[in-house]
Structures are given as structure tokens and as C-alpha cells.
Chain A
Amino acid sequence: MPDRILADGRVAAEPDARERRVVWVIGIGLVVSTLFFTILHHGFPQVLDVPSNAGIPYTDYPTVFILDLIPFGLAWLCFHHARRRLGLYRAMIFLGGSFVFTGIEESMWILLGRYAQELQAALPSAPNAVLGQGSQEISGTYYFTRGFFWFIETPLLACLGWFFVAYSCVYVANLILPRARLGFRAVAGGLLAMNLDLWLDPVQTHETFKSWIWAQSDRINIFSIPLSNFMGWFLLIFLFALVFERLPNMVKRWGSAQAALYFYGVLFALEIGILIFFGIYGSIAMRLIPEPINLTIWGI
């Protein structure tokens, strides 16, 4: 099987019995966890101290349900392509990996900010840059306001959004740099995703939508959005692309089930690595830059 996503007319083979089992486990895991966290978010908001959506537009249930259908459709386009070109096994690994990788990463940041005071009390040596101090009005780092389905504290539309943005950017990077090494293609994929976010974030955080709310600004901001957010977009897709292209080698070495476990283990280790990286970055930025800087065009 090809190690990268191509557009050469190849049709992947049907999955064998072991691959099918992995596909089922990932699929059921995604559905069950999404249902669980959706019920928790809407039915028992006090458990994770979900902030109120009072005054935030487009947050009624019919609207958020309809808005969730759009990323479903866009994700289907990429999943169908992946299934045909890479096979159901690798398509599902990509979907599950990007969904969980980003869902956990986003939720980790949201919850670290939400429970900053408790964590600060429990871990007095933890840097404020990691836990987030928040503004005077809202404590924490950031949080999402809109979504019908949820994975931990990240809306399904964000998790699926990460999947299809990652897939399309990695695919396009492979197409426009066919002879480049994996590292360069992964960098290009990360930059393509980050480039979209440079516009998407200022639009979606505007008063009209407030799709997510930043409670804490970084020392360096671009268009009033923390630089760490853009670094995060780049890093997540860059690292994911690097690991995903090694999946065929993992399968050859350990078989489909163990390779899937190893793949998700590597992603989880990377989550921790990213958290440490941003902790160090935040601490250094807070020491070196006393006042926040906003790199802006037209005052945005």
C-alpha cells in the first residue's frame, strides 16, 4: 500500500478481518465517547462547570444541531476519499487519530484553564502560563460556546474540523510537493492549516459569533488571537502527518491491531510533549515580554 495519500487512481484493497476489528473498535469508541460527553455537557453541565451561554448568539439546540451537520458533510468528503485511496483501516485510523488527538489537546487546555485555581493550589510550582490566569471577567484559557455533540469539552464540529482540515492539507502538500521529503511535506501541511486559521479565528471570535471565547491573551498575539493558538494548529497537523505516514511501516512490523495501539500511544505522548512545550514557551514569553504585543492589520 502507498505510504502517502495520492490522487493516482489506485483503489485500496478491502480490509482483512483484523483490520475490520480495529475499525469497529475505533468507530464504537468514537460514537460511545461522543454520546457520553454530549449527555454530560448538556444534561449535567455542573460536572465539568460548563460556562453559561447567556448572551451568545446561535446557541439554541436546533441551530447548533444544524450547524453540526456541515462538518459532518465535509468530513464525509475526506473520509470517503481516504477509504477509497488508503483503505478503510487507515481512513479510520486517520479519523480516530485526528479526532481524539485534537479533542484531547483542546479539552486539556480548556479544563486546565477552567480549574486553574484548584490546580494552582494543588501544584504551587506550576507556571501560570500553563494554567492560565484569565481576564477579570472570565477565568481560564478559552472555551467553546457552540455545539450539539461534544467530545470531552470540545464540540464535535471542532474535532471533525481538525480531521478534514488535516486530511486535505496533508493531501495537498503531497500533491504540490511530490518529491519532497516527509518532513517538508508535513511542514507544508501544517502551514496550510495555520494559514486558514489566520482568518478563521478573528472571524469566529468576533462579537457576531463568539464561537469560542479567549479568556487569556498570550504575550504575543496576531490579529488579537494568541500566537500559541497558531503554533498549536501548525504543530498538531505537522506532528500528525509525520506519525501517520509511518503507519504502513508499523503495520508491517507489528500487525494492524498492535500498530493502531502504538500509533495512538505515540499521539498521546505527543500531546504531553506539546503541553510541556507550551508551558516552557509561556514561561519564557512571560519573562521576556512584560506587556502583551498584538501584531495587527487595520486594528484587528
Chain B
Amino acid sequence: METSRWDQVLDYFPILAYFGFWLQGAVLGAILTGEPRLMKLGFVTAPAILAMLLAVVRIHHQHRKPANHPDSTGTV
């Protein structure tokens, strides 16, 4: 028995929240100011975005691990 689809999707939720905030507070905000300098400043958040993308890859790998079954963790 594998981890349910919903439980797999759930693991991306915190990253979605971070991206949502980044999009709404920073990206959309910078666009609305109409200031090209503020848009370019967005590159300073590249490390955080890379970390989030790396986390997405890690989650994907964890979900594919055969050991990652509720039966084997014994917690379900």
C-alpha cells in the first residue's frame, strides 16, 4: 500500500504557500509599482527560489522511494 495521492500532494503545500506569498507580495507588488529597478531587485531572492525548487525535487524523490510506504514506517 503506497502513500495516498492526497498525502503526496500535501507535502508540496508549504512550498506553495511560500511561492504564493512571493508571487503576491513581491512579484505582483513589484509589477504594480511600475518600477523596473524593483523588478530587477527580484534576483536577490534567487537563493530562496532555488532552495524551494531543490525541496520540490527532494519531495518527489522521497515519494518515489520504495521504503516510503505507510506499512514500512509503521505509523499509519
Contact = CB atoms under 8 A, between A and B. Distances in A.
A192 B51 contact: yes
Nearest to B52: A172
Interface residues of A, number: 51
Interface residues of B, number: 46
B44 to A, nearest CB: 5
Interface in B9-42: 10-11, 13-18, 20-22, 24-26, 29-30, 32-35, 37-38, 40-42
B21 A161 contact: yes
Main secondary structure of the interface of A (DSSP, over half): helix
B68 A8 contact: yes
B17 A77 contact: yes
B42 A199 contact: yes
Nearest to B34: A208
B26 A199 contact: yes
Contacts of B47: 191-192, 195
Interface in A65-113: 70-71, 73-75, 77-78, 80-81, 84-85
Interface string B39-75: 0111011011001101100110011000011100101
Interface string A142-178: 0000000000000000000100110111011101101
A208 B35 CA distance: 10
A33 interface: no
Nearest to B36: A298
B41 A223 contact: yes
A167 B33 contact: no
Given A167-B14, A298-B37, A10 B22 contact: no
A49 to B, nearest CB: 28
A206 B73 contact: no
Contacts of A173: 51
A9 B63 contact: yes
Given A176-B58, A198-B44, A11 B76 contact: yes
5 contacts: A8-B73, A172-B52, A175-B58, A208-B34, A298-B41
